[in-house]
């Protein structure tokens, strides 16, 4: 699933293409991607209006529609955006689920091949966060609030960061990276983290996300001290050279170095 840095890439693309363009019409080819929103409501909410600004919350891209409502996009595993003018033979366009036509003759396609993403119209970002019961965004939560949340649960630190109701934005991949950078075992209980570890986690979330965004969320461009380019069982640890191990934590795979991340 796209995580926080990936959604920032979608946000950059949306801002560079669709922002401040007047919508001429909206077409929905498969309403299974619509969540609590009908095709008619989507078209009525966007037609004749412009996207005035964007924001990311957790794993969601939210575009303000001239102060009247918010278009929310979640990309799932295969979601994408494409801004284009003329039809071409791009195979991706076979999986367009929502198409926004602008008055400048360009189009913005919401592509979702495996139908794991979704689209909705929200009254506001705050209304959406309340409706979904999302926790604070991973890049907005304060160090003190994060420490308080960690101390208040006995679940594993890996499971904590995967729980979007606790903290929104991180997923399987970047949770592994943050824990690796901090030298914390993914199965360690949150209640056993000390104050120093909690502060280090907060600082590392920002450092890892900023680094990922700078490198366009492409692990192939990451430096040698990052886990993501070697995130596989048996791969060499970029820090000590030992073998990366795989374990299940709350039903999800976690990759870690048993030497650098002792439980």
Query: Where are the chain's structural domains?
Result: 4-132, 143-256
Per DSSP, what are the bridge partners of residue 119? 34, 73
Q: Tell me the C-alpha distance between 182 and 135, whole Å.
A: 22
pTM over 0.85: yes
* SS3 state at 207: helix
CA-to-CA dists, residue 60 to 50, 57, 63, 65, angstroms:
19, 5, 10, 16
CATH fold of the domain at 4-132: N-terminal domain of MutM-like DNA repair proteins (3.20.190)
For the chain, 263 residues long, give each residue's pLDDT as a single digit of tens. Answer: 799 999 999 999 999 999 999 999 999 999 999 999 999 999 999 999 999 999 999 999 999 999 899 999 999 988 999 999 977 667 778 899 999 999 999 999 999 999 999 999 999 999 999 999 999 999 999 999 999 999 999 999 999 999 999 999 999 999 999 999 999 999 999 999 999 999 999 999 999 999 999 999 999 999 889 999 999 999 999 999 999 999 999 898 999 999 999 98
Extended beta strands in the chain, E state: 23-28, 51-57, 60-65, 69-74, 79-84, 96-102, 107-112, 118-122, 245-249, 252-256
CATH of region 143-256: 1.10.8.50
Alpha-carbon dihedral sign for residues 128, 134, 138, 143 = positive
Contacts of 241 (CB under 8 A, 6+ apart): none
Residue 98's closest CA among 123, 72, 122?
72
């Amino acid at each position: 699933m796209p995580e926080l840095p990936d959604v920032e890439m979608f946000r950059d693309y949306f801002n560079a293409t669709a922002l401040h363009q007047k919508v001429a019409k909206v077409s929905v080819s498969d309403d299974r991607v619509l969540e609590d929103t009908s095709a008619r409501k989507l078209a009525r909410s966007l037609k004749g209006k412009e996207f005035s600004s964007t924001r990311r919350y957790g794993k969601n891209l939210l575009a303000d529609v001239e102060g009247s409502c918010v278009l929310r996009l979640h990309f799932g595993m295969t979601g994408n955006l494409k801004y284009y003018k003329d039809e071409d033979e791009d195979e991706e366009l076979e999986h367009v689920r929502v198409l926004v036509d602008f008055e400048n003759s360009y189009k913005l396609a919401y592509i979702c091949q495996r139908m794991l993403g979704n689209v909705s119209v929200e009254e506001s970002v705050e209304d959406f966060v309340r409706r979904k019961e999302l926790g604070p965004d991973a890049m907005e939560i304060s160090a003190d609030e994060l420490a308080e949340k960690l101390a208040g649960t006995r679940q594993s630190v890996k499971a904590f960061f995967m729980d979007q109701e606790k903290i929104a934005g991180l997923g399987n991949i970047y949770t592994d990276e943050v824990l690796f950078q901090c030298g914390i075992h993914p199965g360690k209980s949150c209640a056993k983290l000390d104050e120093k570890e909690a502060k280090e986690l907060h600082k590392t979330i920002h450092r890892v996300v900023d680094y990922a965004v700078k490198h366009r969320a492409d692990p192939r461009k990451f430096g040698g001290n990052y886990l993501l380019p070697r995130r596989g069982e048996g791969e060499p640890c970029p820090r000590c050279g030992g073998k990366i191990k795989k374990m299940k934590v709350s039903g999800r795979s976690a990759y870690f170095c048993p030497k650098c991340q002792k439980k």
